[in-house]
Amino acid sequence: LKISTPRLYAAGVRSYSQLCALAKALDVVGDRWTMLVIRELLLRGPSRYTDVRDGLPGIASNLLAGRLRELERAGLVARDEAPPPVATTLYRLTPRGEELEAVIAALVRWGVPLVVDADPDDAFRSHWLTFPVEALLTDRAPDRPPVTLEVRAGDEPVVVETAGGGARVRRGGGGPPDALLAGPPKLVLGVLTAKLALDDARARGVTYEGDPAVLRRLLPA
Amino acid sequence: LKISTPRLYAAGVRSYSQLCALAKALDVVGDRWTMLVIRELLLRGPSRYTDVRDGLPGIASNLLAGRLRELERAGLVARDEAPPPVATTLYRLTPRGEELEAVIAALVRWGVPLVVDADPDDAFRSHWLTFPVEALLTDRAPDRPPVTLEVRAGDEPVVVETAGGGARVRRGGGGPPDALLAGPPKLVLGVLTAKLALDDARARGVTYEGDPAVLRRLLPA
DNA sequence: CAGCATCCGCTTTGATACTG
DNA sequence: CAGTATCAAAGCGGATGCTG
């Protein structure tokens, strides 16, 4: 006779039950969709439920609600109730949740080669460009005046701008940019991650207009 | 009428179908147990099936076999058939698989605070000490002769030694060490990650013998 | 014994419908 | 808008059985 101890947890919490920092981390953020929920909150800042959901095409609504609840219990997410005029709930990362940015950065760097042969009709949101751009692009002429590159791919235009020796991504296209990159998301991503030469991308439907030096300045040699 | 496209994959491959480097990375290494399989192969080097399984207490054998197959298909793991004298299969990481070390290091750093309040009878293998020790410990006197600290916790003794300004972990305890740290895994881990003061650990069952300067040299201020 | 494959009960996920 | 409810399908955990 062997007494089995399936280790009962408070509610739906499945653990590796290993005394290892990696296993403990994965106990908290290793479930399906969890890391992508963190991604959205990192990229968007405090967000309403519906906006988070829009950034996670494919997630089931009940699952998102569940994940947000678990992340709140784990201390990675907090919910702020806005006062009556707005009357909505905002989800945001706690400092402990924001510390996952280093983990996501490492995963993004590792994952960049995989986007090249992705299915072309995968879902895409243009703010997803932020991580690869800020991780991979550097300003090769940081002493010259800053430049802006408008990127049109996916749901809304974004602007890549040189800043502090690197690159930043922000929403919308207010003023006229120094250059414009537009086309199918997968190809635009290929260009910005230097996995696809601009000429090849052009031949497959990407357009680049404006100062040619802008892209050269941002991409690695 | 809406044509649903549940995106058919070759076999059991579930994808987020998002054009995002993070999502693509998680498509490959985001499944349950996958990252821990990588951990074992990183820590042990080329290993037999049974040894990998021993480093993954709690995994179902069929699941391990499945994960190894998927990782092989994804190009992260290779299997070497040893010639007749040994007549066994060795699993090892490919270079692409080894690149996940940066991801694991980031997850370990994030997860270290979680081991402090872990269940004391979680499973433990002493080689799991490697990641936290090498990520967190530094040699505060790199110009002095190297020192060794034997750690006895879990299944087999390991030796922490100063090397190149940091610390390394290796198996077994050949020569006599400069100091010896022994006790319940959770408390020993607490001491080595500087989350638990040595005096507190001693009061709870940890023993430390030998040169007191060894531990002080390794732990951050 | 190493290296899996099969079977089965349970849990998690996915898709969609519904409600305050 | 912000979720909950429902239910089928897939995945997981545990045990056991098979093969060289």
Distance of C1' in D3 from CA in B56, Å: 38
Query: How does pLDDT run across B102-156, given as a tens digit for each residue?
Result: 999 999 999 999 999 999 889 999 999 999 999 999 999 999 999 999 999 999 9
SS (H, E, C) chain A: CCCCCCCCCCCCCCCCCECCHHHHHHHHHCCCCHHHHHHHHHHHCCECHHHHHHCCCCCCHHHHHHHHHHHHHCCCEEEEECCCCCCCEEEEECHHHHCCHHHHHHHHHHHHHHHCCCCCCCECCHHHHHHHHHHHCCCCCCCCCCCEEEEECCCCCEEEEEECCEEEEEECCCCCCCEEEECCHHHHHHHHCCCCCHHHHHHCCCEEEECHHHHHHHCCC
> Which of B20, B26, B42, B189 to mutate: most A Cβ within 10 Å?
B20
- Return the pLDDT at B166: 94
Distance (Å, whole) CA B187 – CA B118: 10
User: Which positions of chain A have pLDDT values less than 50?
Assistant: 1-10
> Are A147 and A178 spatial neighbours (Cβ–Cβ below 8 Å)?
yes
Distance (Å, whole) CA B101 – CA A114: 17
- Return the pLDDT at A38: 98
Q: What is the pTM of this model?
A: 0.93
The 10 Å Cβ neighbour count of residue A210 is 17
B115 touches chain A (CB under 8 A): yes
Average pLDDT over every residue of B37-63: 96
Locate tokens 């300004």: which residue? B165
- Return the pLDDT at B8: 39
Q: Is strand C in 7 Å reach of the CB of A62?
A: yes
Distance (Å, whole) CA A146 – CA A163: 7
Q: SS3 for B29?
A: helix
Q: SS3 for B47?
A: strand
* Residue in A closest to B55 by C-alpha: A18
- For B116, counting Cβ atoms within 10 Å of its Cβ (0-12 exposed, 13-18 middle, 19+ buried), the class is middle
Residues 44-73 of chain A in contact with strand D via CB under 7 angstroms: 48-51, 60-62, 65, 68
Distance (Å, whole) CA A154 – CA A128: 10
Locate tokens 């494919």: which residue? A58
Q: Residue with CA nearest C5 C1'?
A: B62
Read off the amino acid at residue A118: A
DSSP letter, residue B176 = P
Average pLDDT over every residue of B172-196: 93
- Return the pLDDT at A175: 83
Cβ–Cβ below 8 Å for B18 and A105 = no
Locate tokens 């005096």: which residue? B199
Q: Percentage of chain B with pLDDT > 70?
A: 93
Average pLDDT over every residue of B40-69: 96
Angle of CA points A65, A97, B103, to nearest 5°: 105
B95 touches chain A (CB under 8 A): no
Partners of A39 on chain B (C-beta within 8 Å) are 20, 22
Distance of C1' in C12 from CA in B206, Å: 40
Cβ–Cβ below 8 Å for B110 and A102 = yes
| Residue in B22, B30, B106 nearest the CB of A102 | B106
- Return the pLDDT at A81: 86
Q: Residue with CA nearest D10 C1'?
A: B12
B127 touches chain A (CB under 8 A): no
Cβ–Cβ below 8 Å for A189 and B122 = no
